[in-house]
Protein backbone atom coordinates (compact mmCIF):
# COMPACT_ATOMS: atom_id res chain seq x y z
CA UNK A 1 0.00 0.00 0.00
CA UNK A 2 1.34 3.46 -0.90
CA UNK A 3 2.18 5.56 2.15
CA UNK A 4 0.83 9.09 2.19
CA UNK A 5 3.31 11.84 3.01
CA UNK A 6 2.41 14.15 5.86
CA UNK A 7 3.42 17.78 6.15
CA UNK A 8 6.68 18.16 8.00
CA UNK A 9 6.49 19.77 11.41
CA UNK A 10 8.03 23.20 11.81
CA UNK A 11 10.14 22.26 14.82
CA UNK A 12 10.88 18.88 16.37
CA UNK A 13 13.85 19.50 18.73
CA UNK A 14 14.27 15.85 19.72
CA UNK A 15 15.10 14.86 16.13
CA UNK A 16 18.50 15.42 14.48
CA UNK A 17 19.39 18.69 12.74
CA UNK A 18 20.69 16.80 9.71
CA UNK A 19 17.67 15.32 7.97
CA UNK A 20 17.60 11.54 7.68
CA UNK A 21 15.62 11.62 4.40
CA UNK A 22 14.33 14.16 1.93
CA UNK A 23 10.74 12.98 2.31
CA UNK A 24 9.30 10.96 5.20
CA UNK A 25 12.42 11.33 7.31
CA UNK A 26 13.31 12.89 10.63
CA UNK A 27 14.68 16.40 11.18
CA UNK A 28 14.52 19.00 13.93
CA UNK A 29 13.72 21.84 11.55
CA UNK A 30 16.92 23.62 12.60
CA UNK A 31 19.01 24.37 9.51
CA UNK A 32 22.80 24.33 9.77
CA UNK A 33 24.19 24.77 6.26
CA UNK A 34 27.50 23.29 7.45
CA UNK A 35 25.80 20.03 8.40
CA UNK A 36 23.27 18.99 5.74
CA UNK A 37 22.62 15.62 4.13
CA UNK A 38 23.52 16.82 0.63
CA UNK A 39 26.33 19.43 0.94
CA UNK A 40 26.24 20.37 -2.76
CA UNK A 41 22.74 21.76 -2.20
CA UNK A 42 24.47 24.71 -0.49
CA UNK A 43 26.37 25.55 -3.69
CA UNK A 44 23.15 25.44 -5.69
CA UNK A 45 21.46 27.62 -3.09
CA UNK A 46 24.21 30.24 -3.39
CA UNK A 47 24.00 30.25 -7.20
CA UNK A 48 20.23 30.70 -7.12
CA UNK A 49 20.41 33.44 -4.48
CA UNK A 50 23.07 35.34 -6.43
CA UNK A 51 20.61 36.03 -9.24
CA UNK A 52 18.26 38.42 -7.46
CA UNK A 53 16.46 40.89 -9.72
CA UNK A 54 13.05 42.53 -10.04
CA UNK A 55 11.02 43.31 -13.15
CA UNK A 56 10.98 47.06 -12.52
CA UNK A 57 14.76 47.19 -13.10
CA UNK A 58 14.17 46.75 -16.85
CA UNK A 59 13.22 49.92 -18.71
CA UNK A 60 10.50 48.91 -21.18
CA UNK A 61 10.32 52.32 -22.88
CA UNK A 62 11.91 51.22 -26.19
CA UNK A 63 9.51 48.27 -26.48
CA UNK A 64 6.49 50.44 -25.72
CA UNK A 65 7.34 52.41 -28.84
CA UNK A 66 8.36 49.43 -30.98
CA UNK A 67 5.51 46.99 -30.36
CA UNK A 68 3.19 48.80 -32.80
CA UNK A 69 5.80 48.38 -35.56
CA UNK A 70 5.86 44.57 -35.28
CA UNK A 71 4.05 42.58 -37.95
CA UNK A 72 0.62 41.19 -37.10
CA UNK A 73 2.14 37.69 -36.86
CA UNK A 74 4.86 38.95 -34.48
CA UNK A 75 2.36 40.76 -32.27
CA UNK A 76 0.08 37.71 -32.14
CA UNK A 77 2.99 35.41 -31.25
CA UNK A 78 4.24 37.89 -28.64
CA UNK A 79 0.92 37.99 -26.79
CA UNK A 80 0.26 34.25 -27.08
CA UNK A 81 3.72 33.35 -25.81
CA UNK A 82 3.50 35.73 -22.86
CA UNK A 83 0.14 34.09 -22.10
CA UNK A 84 1.78 30.67 -22.27
CA UNK A 85 4.61 31.66 -19.95
CA UNK A 86 2.21 33.19 -17.44
CA UNK A 87 0.10 30.02 -17.50
CA UNK A 88 3.09 27.80 -16.80
CA UNK A 89 5.01 29.99 -14.35
CA UNK A 90 2.06 30.89 -12.11
CA UNK A 91 1.66 27.39 -10.59
CA UNK A 92 5.43 27.00 -10.08
CA UNK A 93 5.27 29.26 -7.02
CA UNK A 94 2.61 27.04 -5.47
CA UNK A 95 4.32 23.78 -6.45
CA UNK A 96 7.61 24.87 -4.88
CA UNK A 97 5.72 25.69 -1.67
CA UNK A 98 3.93 22.31 -1.72
CA UNK A 99 7.19 20.39 -2.17
CA UNK A 100 8.60 22.45 0.71
CA UNK A 101 5.62 21.49 2.89
CA UNK A 102 6.35 17.79 2.56
CA UNK A 103 10.14 17.65 2.55
CA UNK A 104 11.72 16.83 5.88
CA UNK A 105 15.04 18.37 4.85
CA UNK A 106 15.24 22.04 5.93
CA UNK A 107 17.88 22.81 3.28
CA UNK A 108 15.35 21.86 0.59
CA UNK A 109 12.70 24.01 2.27
CA UNK A 110 15.09 26.96 2.21
CA UNK A 111 15.97 26.55 -1.46
CA UNK A 112 12.32 26.07 -2.39
CA UNK A 113 11.47 29.32 -0.61
CA UNK A 114 13.88 31.16 -2.90
CA UNK A 115 12.62 29.31 -5.97
CA UNK A 116 9.02 30.18 -5.07
CA UNK A 117 9.93 33.85 -4.67
CA UNK A 118 11.70 33.93 -8.04
CA UNK A 119 8.81 32.18 -9.77
CA UNK A 120 6.47 34.76 -8.30
CA UNK A 121 8.62 37.52 -9.78
CA UNK A 122 8.63 35.75 -13.15
CA UNK A 123 4.85 35.78 -13.12
CA UNK A 124 4.84 39.44 -12.14
CA UNK A 125 7.27 40.24 -14.95
CA UNK A 126 4.82 38.96 -17.58
CA UNK A 127 2.15 41.33 -16.29
CA UNK A 128 4.76 44.10 -16.22
CA UNK A 129 5.77 43.42 -19.83
CA UNK A 130 2.17 43.24 -21.03
CA UNK A 131 1.30 46.51 -19.32
CA UNK A 132 3.98 48.10 -21.49
CA UNK A 133 2.65 46.95 -24.85
CA UNK A 134 -1.11 46.54 -24.59
CA UNK A 135 -4.12 47.90 -22.73
CA UNK A 136 -5.82 46.21 -19.78
CA UNK A 137 -8.19 44.21 -21.98
CA UNK A 138 -5.23 42.89 -23.96
CA UNK A 139 -3.43 41.96 -20.76
CA UNK A 140 -6.45 40.10 -19.40
CA UNK A 141 -6.92 38.30 -22.70
CA UNK A 142 -3.30 37.10 -22.70
CA UNK A 143 -3.67 35.73 -19.18
CA UNK A 144 -6.94 34.03 -20.13
CA UNK A 145 -5.20 31.96 -22.81
CA UNK A 146 -4.34 29.17 -20.40
CA UNK A 147 -8.05 28.66 -19.74
CA UNK A 148 -9.40 29.09 -23.28
CA UNK A 149 -6.92 28.40 -26.06
CA UNK A 150 -7.58 24.80 -27.25
CA UNK A 151 -3.99 24.15 -28.35
CA UNK A 152 -2.61 25.39 -25.04
CA UNK A 153 -5.21 23.45 -23.05
CA UNK A 154 -4.28 20.25 -24.88
CA UNK A 155 -0.59 20.96 -24.37
CA UNK A 156 -1.03 21.44 -20.61
CA UNK A 157 -3.39 18.50 -19.89
CA UNK A 158 -0.78 16.25 -18.31
CA UNK A 159 0.88 18.90 -16.20
CA UNK A 160 -2.52 19.80 -14.76
CA UNK A 161 -3.10 16.12 -13.96
CA UNK A 162 0.32 15.50 -12.40
CA UNK A 163 0.50 18.67 -10.31
CA UNK A 164 -3.03 18.22 -8.97
CA UNK A 165 -2.36 14.56 -8.23
CA UNK A 166 0.56 15.54 -5.99
CA UNK A 167 -1.50 18.27 -4.31
CA UNK A 168 -4.37 15.88 -3.60
CA UNK A 169 -2.43 12.66 -2.97
CA UNK A 170 1.09 13.47 -1.74
CA UNK A 171 3.29 10.36 -1.87
CA UNK A 172 6.90 9.67 -2.87
CA UNK A 173 5.68 8.59 -6.30
CA UNK A 174 3.53 11.67 -6.95
CA UNK A 175 6.32 13.91 -5.64
CA UNK A 176 8.76 12.28 -8.10
CA UNK A 177 6.27 12.73 -10.93
CA UNK A 178 5.77 16.40 -10.02
CA UNK A 179 9.57 16.83 -10.14
CA UNK A 180 9.63 15.26 -13.62
CA UNK A 181 7.09 17.79 -14.83
CA UNK A 182 8.94 20.63 -13.15
CA UNK A 183 12.04 19.55 -15.05
CA UNK A 184 9.99 19.55 -18.25
CA UNK A 185 8.70 23.05 -17.57
CA UNK A 186 11.95 24.64 -16.50
CA UNK A 187 14.21 22.71 -18.82
CA UNK A 188 12.19 22.29 -22.02
CA UNK A 189 8.68 23.82 -22.08
CA UNK A 190 9.81 27.42 -21.87
CA UNK A 191 12.53 27.23 -24.47
CA UNK A 192 10.65 27.65 -27.73
CA UNK A 193 9.02 30.66 -26.07
CA UNK A 194 12.37 32.11 -24.98
CA UNK A 195 13.76 31.50 -28.48
CA UNK A 196 11.01 33.67 -29.98
CA UNK A 197 12.04 36.72 -27.94
CA UNK A 198 15.75 36.13 -28.59
CA UNK A 199 14.98 35.94 -32.30
CA UNK A 200 13.28 39.33 -32.09
CA UNK A 201 16.28 40.76 -30.23
CA UNK A 202 18.80 39.56 -32.78
CA UNK A 203 16.82 41.59 -35.32
CA UNK A 204 16.94 44.57 -32.93
CA UNK A 205 13.28 44.24 -31.98
CA UNK A 206 11.80 44.28 -28.45
CA UNK A 207 15.25 44.13 -26.85
CA UNK A 208 13.97 45.11 -23.40
CA UNK A 209 11.57 42.17 -23.41
CA UNK A 210 14.39 39.80 -24.36
CA UNK A 211 16.48 41.19 -21.49
CA UNK A 212 13.67 40.36 -19.08
CA UNK A 213 13.40 36.91 -20.63
CA UNK A 214 17.16 36.42 -20.15
CA UNK A 215 16.76 37.05 -16.44
CA UNK A 216 13.93 34.52 -16.25
CA UNK A 217 15.80 32.01 -18.42
CA UNK A 218 18.89 32.29 -16.20
CA UNK A 219 16.76 31.54 -13.12
CA UNK A 220 15.06 28.60 -14.81
CA UNK A 221 18.42 27.02 -15.67
CA UNK A 222 19.31 27.00 -11.98
CA UNK A 223 15.86 25.80 -10.92
CA UNK A 224 16.09 22.96 -13.45
CA UNK A 225 19.48 22.00 -12.10
CA UNK A 226 18.21 21.88 -8.52
CA UNK A 227 15.04 19.94 -9.31
CA UNK A 228 17.15 17.41 -11.23
CA UNK A 229 19.44 16.96 -8.23
CA UNK A 230 16.43 16.65 -5.93
CA UNK A 231 14.89 14.04 -8.23
CA UNK A 232 18.09 11.98 -8.34
CA UNK A 233 18.57 12.12 -4.58
CA UNK A 234 14.92 11.22 -3.88
CA UNK A 235 15.12 8.31 -6.29
CA UNK A 236 18.32 7.09 -4.63
CA UNK A 237 16.68 7.23 -1.21
CA UNK A 238 13.66 5.32 -2.51
CA UNK A 239 15.17 2.64 -4.79
CA UNK A 240 11.84 0.84 -5.12
CA UNK A 241 10.89 3.53 -7.65
CA UNK A 242 14.16 3.22 -9.51
CA UNK A 243 12.74 0.45 -11.67
CA UNK A 244 12.10 -0.13 -15.34
CA UNK A 245 8.41 0.72 -15.12
CA UNK A 246 8.89 4.14 -13.51
CA UNK A 247 11.89 5.11 -15.66
CA UNK A 248 9.97 4.17 -18.80
CA UNK A 249 7.12 6.35 -17.53
CA UNK A 250 9.58 9.26 -17.37
CA UNK A 251 10.74 8.62 -20.93
CA UNK A 252 7.12 8.42 -22.10
CA UNK A 253 6.38 11.80 -20.54
CA UNK A 254 9.34 13.35 -22.33
CA UNK A 255 8.34 11.83 -25.67
CA UNK A 256 4.74 12.99 -25.25
CA UNK A 257 5.69 16.50 -24.23
CA UNK A 258 8.22 16.91 -27.02
CA UNK A 259 5.32 16.21 -29.40
CA UNK A 260 3.16 18.73 -27.54
CA UNK A 261 5.94 21.32 -27.68
CA UNK A 262 6.40 20.72 -31.41
CA UNK A 263 2.66 21.20 -31.96
CA UNK A 264 2.64 24.40 -29.91
CA UNK A 265 5.75 25.81 -31.60
CA UNK A 266 4.27 25.14 -35.04
CA UNK A 267 0.99 26.75 -33.96
CA UNK A 268 2.54 29.93 -32.62
CA UNK A 269 5.78 30.38 -34.59
CA UNK A 270 5.20 29.07 -38.11
CA UNK A 271 4.44 32.56 -39.49
CA UNK A 272 7.31 34.28 -37.67
CA UNK A 273 10.26 35.31 -39.82
CA UNK A 274 13.71 34.16 -38.71
CA UNK A 275 12.88 30.85 -37.00
CA UNK A 276 13.13 27.66 -39.02
CA UNK A 277 10.74 25.07 -37.63
CA UNK A 278 13.19 22.24 -38.36
CA UNK A 279 15.78 23.98 -36.18
CA UNK A 280 13.19 24.68 -33.48
CA UNK A 281 12.11 21.03 -33.35
CA UNK A 282 15.76 20.01 -33.16
CA UNK A 283 16.26 22.48 -30.31
CA UNK A 284 13.31 21.01 -28.41
CA UNK A 285 14.76 17.50 -28.75
CA UNK A 286 18.20 18.79 -27.74
CA UNK A 287 16.70 20.33 -24.58
CA UNK A 288 14.86 17.07 -23.79
CA UNK A 289 18.09 15.08 -24.08
CA UNK A 290 19.91 17.60 -21.92
CA UNK A 291 17.34 17.49 -19.13
CA UNK A 292 17.26 13.70 -19.15
CA UNK A 293 21.04 13.65 -18.72
CA UNK A 294 20.76 16.08 -15.81
CA UNK A 295 18.24 13.73 -14.20
CA UNK A 296 20.69 10.85 -14.50
CA UNK A 297 18.85 9.19 -17.39
CA UNK A 298 19.72 8.40 -21.00
CA UNK A 299 19.05 10.51 -24.08
CA UNK A 300 16.09 9.40 -26.21
CA UNK A 301 16.78 11.36 -29.39
CA UNK A 302 19.76 10.28 -31.45
CA UNK A 303 21.71 12.98 -33.27
CA UNK A 304 20.33 15.75 -31.03
CA UNK A 305 23.26 16.20 -28.67
CA UNK A 306 24.21 19.71 -29.79
CA UNK A 307 22.18 22.92 -29.89
CA UNK A 308 21.09 23.49 -33.51
CA UNK A 309 20.32 27.16 -32.76
CA UNK A 310 23.71 28.23 -31.44
CA UNK A 311 22.87 31.93 -31.79
CA UNK A 312 20.75 31.60 -28.64
CA UNK A 313 23.95 31.35 -26.56
CA UNK A 314 24.46 35.08 -26.99
CA UNK A 315 21.37 35.74 -24.92
CA UNK A 316 21.51 33.37 -21.95
CA UNK A 317 23.87 31.57 -19.60
CA UNK A 318 24.58 27.99 -20.54
CA UNK A 319 25.67 25.16 -18.21
CA UNK A 320 27.78 23.53 -20.90
CA UNK A 321 29.73 26.59 -21.94
CA UNK A 322 31.24 29.83 -20.76
CA UNK A 323 28.79 32.11 -19.01
CA UNK A 324 27.57 34.89 -21.28
CA UNK A 325 27.57 38.32 -19.69
CA UNK A 326 24.39 39.68 -21.25
CA UNK A 327 25.17 43.16 -19.96
CA UNK A 328 27.97 43.27 -22.54
CA UNK A 329 25.84 42.26 -25.52
CA UNK A 330 25.78 45.15 -27.97
CA UNK A 331 22.29 44.25 -29.18
CA UNK A 332 20.81 44.59 -25.72
CA UNK A 333 19.78 47.57 -23.65
CA UNK A 334 19.59 47.34 -19.86
CA UNK A 335 18.51 50.42 -17.94
CA UNK A 336 17.31 50.58 -14.37
CA UNK A 337 14.37 52.88 -13.84
CA UNK A 338 12.48 53.86 -10.72
CA UNK A 339 9.37 54.76 -12.72
CA UNK A 340 6.85 52.13 -13.72
CA UNK A 341 8.01 50.84 -17.12
CA UNK A 342 9.70 54.17 -17.80
CA UNK A 343 6.46 55.83 -18.87
CA UNK A 344 7.67 59.21 -17.57
CA UNK A 345 10.29 59.12 -20.35
CA UNK A 346 7.68 59.04 -23.13
**Residue 344 class from Cβ within 10 Å (0-12 exposed, 13-18 middle, 19+ buried)?**
exposed
Give CA–CA dist 340/198, Å, rounded. 24
Helix (H, G, I), strand (E, B) or coil at 298: coil
DSSP assigned state of 346? -
The SS3 call for residue 50 is coil
Alpha carbon 317 to its chain's center: 14
CA 284 to chain centre: 14
User: Distance between CA 117 and CA 96 in Å, rounded?
Assistant: 9
Q: Which residues are catalytic?
A: 126
Rounded distance, CA 28 to CA 104, Å? 9
Amino acid sequence: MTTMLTKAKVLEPMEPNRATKLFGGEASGILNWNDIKYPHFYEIREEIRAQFWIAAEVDMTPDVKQFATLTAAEQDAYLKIIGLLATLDAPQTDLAAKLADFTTDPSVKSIMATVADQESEHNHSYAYVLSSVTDLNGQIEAFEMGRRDPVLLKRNERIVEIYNEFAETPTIETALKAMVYTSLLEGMYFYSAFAYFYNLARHNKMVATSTMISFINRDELQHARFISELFRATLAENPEYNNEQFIEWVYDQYRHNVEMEKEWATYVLSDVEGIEMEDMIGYIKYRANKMLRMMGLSEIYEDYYDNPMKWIRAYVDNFDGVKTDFFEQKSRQYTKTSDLNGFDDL
